[in-house]
Structure 1
Amino acid sequence: MDMNKMPEGMDHSKMHKGNDQHKGMSEHDHHAMMIADFKKRFYVVLALTIPIMLLSTMIQHFMGVNWTFTGSSYILFALSSVVFVYGGWPFLTGLVDEVKSKNPGMMFLIGFAITVAYCYSVAIVFGLKGMDFFWELATLILIMLLGHWIEMKSVMGASNELELLVQLMPSDAHMVMPDMVHDVKTDTLKENDIILIKPGEKVAADGIILEGESYLNESMLTGESKPVLKAKGDKVIAGSINGNGSFKVTVSHAAKDSYLSQVVKLVDDAQKSKSQTQLLADTAAKWLTVIALVTGIGTFLYWYLTGQTLAFAMERMVTVIVICCPHALGLAVPLVVAKSTALSAKHGLLIKNRTAFENARKITTIVFDKTGTLTVGKFEVSKVVSLNKEFKEDELIRLSSALEQKSEHPIATGILQKVKDLKLTIPQAENFKAITGQGVEATVEGKTLLVVSPGYLNENKLAVPDGFTANDTETVVFILIDQKLAGYIALSDELRPESAEAIKTLREENIKSILLTGDNSKVAASVSKTLGMDSFIAEVLPHQKLEKIKELQSKGEFVAMTGDGVNDAPALAQADIGIAVGSGSDIAAETAGIVLVNSNPKDIVSLILFGKATYRKMIQNLIWATGYNVIALPLAAGVLYNQGIVLSPAAGAVLMTVSTVVVAINASLLKVKA
Structure 2
Amino acid sequence: MSMHRDHQHEHRRDEAGHHAGHQGASADLRDAPGDHEHGSSAHEGHGEHHEHGGHSGHGDHVGQFRRLFWIMLVLAVPVVAFNAMFAHLVGYHLPDGEWVQWVSPILGTLLYVWGGWPFLTGAVSEIRSRKPGMMLLIGLAITVAFVSSWGSTLDVLDDQLDFWWELALLVVIMLLGHWIEMRSLAQTTSALDSLAALLPDEAEKVDGDAVVKVAPSDLAVGDVVIVRPGAAVPADGKIVDGSASMDESMVTGESKTVRREVGESVVAGTVATDSGLRVEVTAIGDDTALAGIQKLVADAQASSSRAQRIADTAAGWLFWFALGSAVITAIVWALVGLPDDGVVRTITVLVIACPHALGLAIPLVVSIATERAARGGVLIKDRLALESMRTVDAVLFDKTGTLTKGEPTVTGIEPIDGYSEDAVLSLAAAAESDSEHPLARAVTGAAKHRSLDVPAYAEFSSSPAVGVRARVDGSVIEVGGPYLLEHHGLSELPIADKWRTEGAIILHVVADGEVIGALRLADEIRPESHDAVDALHAVGAQVVMITGDAQAVAETVAAELGIDRVFAGVRPEDKAAKVAELQREGRKVAMVGDGVNDAPALAQADVGIAIGAGTDVAIGSAGVILASSDPRSVLSIFELSNAAYRKMKQNLWWAAGYNLISVPLAAGVLAPVGFVLPMSVGAILMSASTVVVALNAQLLRRLDLTPEQSAARTLNRTASN
TM-score range, shorter chain: 0.5 to 0.7
User: Structure 1 pair 325/46, CA: closer, same or farther in 2 (3 Å)?
Assistant: closer
The answer to whether the Cα contact below 8 Å between 1:198 and 1:246 also exists between their aligned partners in 2 is: yes
**TM alignment of 1:180-579, pairs within 5 A:** 194=225, 196=227, 228-229=256-257, 231-233=259-261, 250=279, 254=284, 259=290, 262=293, 266=297, 269-270=300-301, 273-274=304-305, 283-284=313-314, 286-294=316-324, 313=345, 316-318=348-350, 320-323=352-355, 327=359, 360-361=392-393, 421=465, 471-475=497-501, 494-498=521-525, 502-503=529-530, 505-507=532-534, 509-510=536-537, 531=560, 560-565=565-570, 573=581
1:627 and 2:659 equivalent? no
The answer to whether the Cα contact below 8 Å between 1:150 and 1:661 also exists between their aligned partners in 2 is: no
The structural deviation recorded for 1:105 is: 0.9
1:109 and 2:141 equivalent? no
User: Structure 1 pair 564/115, CA: closer, same or farther in 2 (3 Å)?
Assistant: same
User: Structure 1 pair 524/161, CA: closer, same or farther in 2 (3 Å)?
Assistant: closer
The structural deviation recorded for 1:119 is: 1.1
The structural deviation recorded for 1:59 is: 4.0
Give the structure 2 partner of residue 45 of structure 1.
72
Give the counterpart letter for 1:130 in structure 2: D
Give the counterpart letter for 2:568 in structure 1: G
The answer to whether the Cα contact below 8 Å between 2:386 and 2:641 also exists between their aligned partners in 1 is: no
1:99 and 2:127 equivalent? yes
Query: What percentage of residue pairs aligned between the two structures are identical?
Result: 20
User: Structure 1 pair 648/590, CA: closer, same or farther in 2 (3 Å)?
Assistant: closer
| CA deviation vs aligned residue, 1:583-625 (integer Å, no higher than 9, x gap) | 664765799859999999x979458536624642562354244
User: Structure 1 pair 470/97, CA: closer, same or farther in 2 (3 Å)?
Assistant: closer
The answer to whether the Cα contact below 8 Å between 1:49 and 1:138 also exists between their aligned partners in 2 is: yes
Give the structure 1 partner of residue 168 of structure 2.
138
Give the structure 1 partner of residue 116 of structure 2.
88
The structural deviation recorded for 1:108 is: 0.7
The answer to whether the Cα contact below 8 Å between 1:318 and 1:649 also exists between their aligned partners in 2 is: no
Give the structure 1 partner of residue 155 of structure 2.
127
| CA deviation vs aligned residue, 1:67-120 (integer Å, no higher than 9, x gap) | 353465455433322222222222222222211221111111111001111111
For 2:152 and 2:189, the matched residues in 1 are separated by: 50
User: Structure 1 pair 615/316, CA: closer, same or farther in 2 (3 Å)?
Assistant: same
Give the structure 2 partner of residue 486 of structure 1.
none
For 1:60 and 1:595, the matched residues in 2 are separated by: 53
What is the DSSP-based 3-state SS (H/G/I as helix, E as strand, rest coil) of the residue aligned with 2:197? Answer: coil
For 1:208 and 1:337, the matched residues in 2 are separated by: 49
User: Structure 1 pair 196/279, CA: closer, same or farther in 2 (3 Å)?
Assistant: same
Give the counterpart letter for 1:313 in structure 2: R
TM-score, normalising length from structure 1? 0.55
For 2:134 and 2:545, the matched residues in 1 are separated by: 51
The structural deviation recorded for 1:474 is: 3.2
The structural deviation recorded for 1:198 is: 6.7
What is the DSSP-based 3-state SS (H/G/I as helix, E as strand, rest coil) of the residue aligned with 1:496? Answer: strand
User: Structure 1 pair 627/513, CA: closer, same or farther in 2 (3 Å)?
Assistant: closer
User: Structure 1 pair 52/68, CA: closer, same or farther in 2 (3 Å)?
Assistant: farther
Give the counterpart letter for 2:353 in structure 1: I
User: Structure 1 pair 38/578, CA: closer, same or farther in 2 (3 Å)?
Assistant: closer
What is the DSSP-based 3-state SS (H/G/I as helix, E as strand, rest coil) of the residue aligned with 1:497? Answer: strand
For 2:202 and 2:97, the matched residues in 1 are separated by: 74
What is the DSSP-based 3-state SS (H/G/I as helix, E as strand, rest coil) of the residue aligned with 1:194? Answer: strand
1:150 and 2:176 equivalent? no
The structural deviation recorded for 1:507 is: 3.4
Give the counterpart letter for 1:52 in structure 2: V
For 2:110 and 2:499, the matched residues in 1 are separated by: 79
Give the counterpart letter for 1:124 in structure 2: S
Give the structure 2 partner of residue 11 of structure 1.
51
For 2:76 and 2:554, the matched residues in 1 are separated by: 74
**TM alignment of 1:656-667, pairs within 5 A:** none
User: Structure 1 pair 69/31, CA: closer, same or farther in 2 (3 Å)?
Assistant: same
The answer to whether the Cα contact below 8 Å between 2:62 and 2:183 also exists between their aligned partners in 1 is: yes
Give the structure 2 partner of residue 409 of structure 1.
none
For 1:160 and 1:94, the matched residues in 2 are separated by: 25
Give the counterpart letter for 2:185 in structure 1: V
The structural deviation recorded for 1:155 is: 1.5
Give the counterpart letter for 2:533 in structure 1: L
User: Structure 1 pair 52/266, CA: closer, same or farther in 2 (3 Å)?
Assistant: same
| CA deviation vs aligned residue, 1:91-150 (integer Å, no higher than 9, x gap) | 222222211221111111111001111111111122233142112212222222232223
TM-score, normalising length from structure 2? 0.52
What is the DSSP-based 3-state SS (H/G/I as helix, E as strand, rest coil) of the residue aligned with 1:473? Answer: helix
What is the DSSP-based 3-state SS (H/G/I as helix, E as strand, rest coil) of the residue aligned with 1:474? Answer: helix
For 2:359 and 2:324, the matched residues in 1 are separated by: 18
The structural deviation recorded for 1:564 is: 3.1
User: Structure 1 pair 5/175, CA: closer, same or farther in 2 (3 Å)?
Assistant: closer
The structural deviation recorded for 1:166 is: 3.2
The structural deviation recorded for 1:176 is: 1.4
Query: Which deviates the most, 47-56 or 636-645?
Result: 636-645
Give the counterpart letter for 2:150 in structure 1: V
For 1:261 and 1:336, the matched residues in 2 are separated by: 38
For 2:551 and 2:149, the matched residues in 1 are separated by: 84
The answer to whether the Cα contact below 8 Å between 1:560 and 1:578 also exists between their aligned partners in 2 is: no
The answer to whether the Cα contact below 8 Å between 1:325 and 1:656 also exists between their aligned partners in 2 is: yes
The answer to whether the Cα contact below 8 Å between 1:561 and 1:578 also exists between their aligned partners in 2 is: no
What is the DSSP-based 3-state SS (H/G/I as helix, E as strand, rest coil) of the residue aligned with 2:159? Answer: coil
Give the counterpart letter for 1:143 in structure 2: I
For 2:653 and 2:270, the matched residues in 1 are separated by: 45
For 1:241 and 1:664, the matched residues in 2 are separated by: 48
Give the counterpart letter for 1:42 in structure 2: F
For 1:166 and 1:368, the matched residues in 2 are separated by: 21
1:609 and 2:635 equivalent? yes
The answer to whether the Cα contact below 8 Å between 1:190 and 1:254 also exists between their aligned partners in 2 is: yes
| CA deviation vs aligned residue, 1:445-489 (integer Å, no higher than 9, x gap) | xxxxxxxxxxxxxxxxxxxxxx99974323399xxxxxxxxxxxx
For 1:284 and 1:374, the matched residues in 2 are separated by: 44
For 1:186 and 1:291, the matched residues in 2 are separated by: 59
Q: Specify every segment of 5 or more residues in structure 2 that has no aligned partner in the other structure, as ranges.
A: 1-43, 409-463, 468-492, 504-517, 615-627, 667-674, 709-721
User: Structure 1 pair 64/338, CA: closer, same or farther in 2 (3 Å)?
Assistant: closer
1:35 and 2:59 equivalent? no
Give the counterpart letter for 2:182 in structure 1: M
The answer to whether the Cα contact below 8 Å between 2:225 and 2:278 also exists between their aligned partners in 1 is: yes
